Chain A
Amino acid sequence: MATGIIKVAPPPEDKNLFQMAYGYASTIFSGMWKTLTIFLKQITGREKTNTLEWPEQPATYSDRFKGKHFLTRRDDGQVRCTACFLCATACPAECIHIVAGQHPTNEIEKFPVRFEIDILRCVFCGFCEEACPVDAIRLGPEYAMAGAAGDKWVYTKDYLADRGQLHGGVVSVKEENTKHFTVDHEASGDNLLATDAPHMRHH
């Protein structure tokens, strides 16, 4: 006998036909018995089931649950999204389609004219939420998304920002630029159109 030989379990003995049949029947019986006892216990209320009686009992998920997407809004009601395309780039399923446009006001400049998520492609990974630099898109708590074959499976911007369950929209607080400070060009004497003679600055 060489060294290094590991002891293993002894090989199964050959069973005869009766032993095999017994083993087969006994395991089936014990399984069925288990099912029957649990069934009777649960149906008489002696044991709690893990089944959730949905929709009478709502499902509860943690705050981190990744459900239906929604677009957040600014204080004045416009969507926060600046159509930077980072979510579309990060999305592994390539299901976000954005068309950017010039906003009428210069403060905002860029906004999404169209923002669509093909929800059947979405894998709910949350990369879009992570990628967004202005907290414009979040995956919310809604989990009930079943529907029929002919339904709309592309969520448009209005649906994402404005649907009923959002109760008027969610405002996100995000300091973009420090735009609440301005340089007083007049006071510093550097008026672009200054035609006065230069003067000494006095303190």
Chain B
Amino acid sequence: MAEQKPKIILQTEGLPDQHSLKTYVEKVNGYTAARKVLGGMSREQVIEEVKQAGLRGRGGAGFLTGLKWSFVPKDITGPKYLICNNDESEPGTFKDRYLCITNPHQVIEGMIIAAYAIGANKGYIYTRWEYQEEIRYLENAIKEAYDAGLLGKNLFGSGFDFDLDHYTGAGAYICGEETGLISSLEGKKGQPKVKPPFPAVSGYLSRPTIVNNTETLANVPWIINNGAKAFRQFGTEKSPGTKLFSISGALNKPGVYEVPLGYPFASLLNIEAGGMQPGRTLKALIPGGASAPVLTPAECEGLTMDFEAMAQRNTMLGSGAVMVIDDRQSMAELLKVTIEFFAHESCGQCTPCREGTGWLNNIMDGIMDRSAKPDNIARLGSVARNMGGKTICALSDACAMPVMSYVQKFSGELQAYLAAGSGGHSK
């Protein structure tokens, strides 16, 4: 791992007019990768390059991108679609919005290459409605690209057409789930679909569809330009490349930082984020968004920011939303906020999630107003344990796993919260 901080994704960060097409083309070789791909690489070559690079999805699941692209059936006729999942709703994540404001054209270029690789002529960027400013930047970038002939028909004279539309959500976390997003795009309720069939085979309008995260797509141009081997120079063997981390909490410099995967957490905390504010100590760490199990300070010893290290600690790298919880935070209140989020956002289709998230929220309300019996804390754990692994999408697991981790690691504090105030009378 090199000491230099490579800029694979945020290449234009800090440059004047960083988001403009002019800066992107002139200062960081913008759109040369797309030209290279459309100028003579075959689809298989592109997919192979990305596979060799070992790029993993940056939206939370960490699935190998090249592998996902290879699931699209090759020898069928009819439209295929590429969708950029810009519905960044995982609590604590704000890296994609930063990317949209800083370097939107890299996303567009990544989409052109990805669309070519899977044989799609139509792409959508699905951004959450709340990101009004980011939507403006993206739509502006798309317009710039169309005006320059970088989107539309016959790109670079190759005969490849690619149309890109922008579409906004309407306030639902569940539309960040790929099939939920597809349902929303189809004009239906944003409810995830049962899999199989998988989107790569039958997705948007029952056509082969690939849904990739914004950051994932932004990695692609650099990989094409510099090669898979160069990409693998950064990061670890199983988690190559760099990642945007949105680190927040009582820090001196919270924000979005691009660091190689495998970067030590201590460095991210103390160097990039400038360390904790004076007088504050680390109480807990949520490494990958609200759906990641919480880590105690002891577990953060020697922690590196990559998929395997996180998995080893029974948590997840997720979207890279690092939430640093300081000593002032009541874990009971934090758990309540987390559970309430998932209960509010559950789409309500399948029973374990719908009823489970609601039940967890209900129990948590009882703990918050101290009307619950002491055994309710253990019940949080047993309900969560039985919610997971049986649902259409992963929201149920996303709620269950953190709850189990809180009950496991902070049950003392939860008990104390319940017992304190009003004598803790039970219902």
Which residues from chain A sit less than 8 Å from chain B, CB to CB? 188-189, 197-201, 203
Verify A201–B170 contact, CB threshold 8 A: no
A197 to B171, CA, bound (A): 9
A188 to B341, CA, bound (A): 11
Q: Which residue of A lies closest to B337 (CB)?
A: A203
Q: Which residue of A lies closest to B128 (CB)?
A: A198
**In the complex, which residues of chain A have a beta carbon less than 8 angstroms from the beta carbon of B170?**
198
- A/B interface sample: 10 pairs, CB < 8 A: A188-B344, A197-B171, A198-B170, A198-B171, A198-B172, A199-B171, A200-B130, A201-B340, A201-B341, A203-B337
A189 to B172, CA, bound (A): 12
A203 to B335, CA, bound (A): 13
Verify B337–A198 contact, CB threshold 8 A: no
**In the complex, which residues of chain A have a beta carbon less than 8 angstroms from the beta carbon of B341?**
201
CB distance from A22 to the nearest CB of B (A): 81
CB distance from A192 to the nearest CB of B (A): 13
Q: Which residue of A lies closest to B336 (CB)?
A: A203
**In the complex, which residues of chain B have a beta carbon less than 8 angstroms from the beta carbon of A199?**
171
CB distance from A203 to the nearest CB of B (A): 6
A86 to B299, CA, bound (A): 58
CB distance from B273 to the nearest CB of A (A): 24
**In the complex, which residues of chain B have a beta carbon less than 8 angstroms from the beta carbon of A201?**
340-341, 344
B111-161 contacts to A, CB under 8 A, are: 129-130
**In the complex, which residues of chain A have a beta carbon less than 8 angstroms from the beta carbon of B129?**
197-198
A41 to B191, CA, bound (A): 93
**In the complex, which residues of chain A have a beta carbon less than 8 angstroms from the beta carbon of B337?**
203
| Interface of A, helix, strand, loop or mixed by DSSP | loop
Q: Which residue of A lies closest to B129 (CB)?
A: A198
A89 to B371, CA, bound (A): 40
CB distance from A184 to the nearest CB of B (A): 12
Q: Which residue of A lies closest to B341 (CB)?
A: A201
A199 to B52, CA, bound (A): 42
A188 to B346, CA, bound (A): 13
A82 to B348, CA, bound (A): 32
Q: Which residue of B lies closest to A188 (CB)?
A: B344
CB distance from B362 to the nearest CB of A (A): 10
**In the complex, which residues of chain B have a beta carbon less than 8 angstroms from the beta carbon of A200?**
130
Q: Which residue of B lies closest to A198 (CB)?
A: B171
Q: Which residue of A lies closest to B345 (CB)?
A: A201
**In the complex, which residues of chain B have a beta carbon less than 8 angstroms from the beta carbon of A188?**
344
A34 to B341, CA, bound (A): 89
A45 to B90, CA, bound (A): 94
CB distance from B126 to the nearest CB of A (A): 15
Chain B 151-191, CB within 8 Å of chain A: the 1/0 string? 00000000000000000001110000000000000000000
Q: Which residue of A lies closest to B169 (CB)?
A: A198
A123 to B341, CA, bound (A): 59
A199 to B337, CA, bound (A): 17
B334-361 contacts to A, CB under 8 A, are: 337, 340-341, 344
A190 to B170, CA, bound (A): 14
A200 to B340, CA, bound (A): 13
CB distance from B42 to the nearest CB of A (A): 44
Most buried by B among A189, A198, A200: A198
CB distance from A178 to the nearest CB of B (A): 10
A4 to B335, CA, bound (A): 82
A87 to B130, CA, bound (A): 58
Top 9 A-B residue pairs of the complex, sorted by shortest distance between their CB atoms: A198-B171, A198-B170, A203-B337, A201-B344, A200-B130, A198-B129, A188-B344, A199-B171, A189-B344
A201 to B171, CA, bound (A): 10
| Extra pairs beyond A198-B129, A199-B171, A203-B337 (7, CB < 8 Å) | A189-B344, A197-B129, A197-B171, A198-B170, A198-B172, A201-B340, A201-B341
**In the complex, which residues of chain A have a beta carbon less than 8 angstroms from the beta carbon of B340?**
201
A188 to B170, CA, bound (A): 17
**In the complex, which residues of chain B have a beta carbon less than 8 angstroms from the beta carbon of A198?**
129, 170-172
B354-386 contacts to A, CB under 8 A, are: none
**In the complex, which residues of chain A have a beta carbon less than 8 angstroms from the beta carbon of B344?**
188-189, 201
CB distance from B93 to the nearest CB of A (A): 14
Q: Which residue of A lies closest to B172 (CB)?
A: A198
Q: Which residue of B lies closest to A203 (CB)?
A: B337
CB distance from B411 to the nearest CB of A (A): 23
CB distance from A41 to the nearest CB of B (A): 64
Q: Which residue of A lies closest to B130 (CB)?
A: A200
Most buried by A among B170, B171, B172: B171
CB distance from A194 to the nearest CB of B (A): 11
**In the complex, which residues of chain B have a beta carbon less than 8 angstroms from the beta carbon of A189?**
344
A201 to B343, CA, bound (A): 12
Q: Which residue of B lies closest to A201 (CB)?
A: B344
CB distance from B101 to the nearest CB of A (A): 19
Q: Which residue of A lies closest to B344 (CB)?
A: A201
A188 to B348, CA, bound (A): 15
CB distance from A147 to the nearest CB of B (A): 50
A189 to B343, CA, bound (A): 13
A197 to B129, CA, bound (A): 10
CB distance from A190 to the nearest CB of B (A): 8
B239-253 contacts to A, CB under 8 A, are: none
A199 to B172, CA, bound (A): 10
A198 to B129, CA, bound (A): 9
A198 to B344, CA, bound (A): 13
CB distance from B329 to the nearest CB of A (A): 13
CB distance from B220 to the nearest CB of A (A): 32
**In the complex, which residues of chain A have a beta carbon less than 8 angstroms from the beta carbon of B130?**
200
Chain B 271-294, CB within 8 Å of chain A: the 1/0 string? 000000000000000000000000
A200 to B172, CA, bound (A): 10
Q: Which residue of B lies closest to A199 (CB)?
A: B171
CB distance from A123 to the nearest CB of B (A): 42
A203 to B337, CA, bound (A): 8
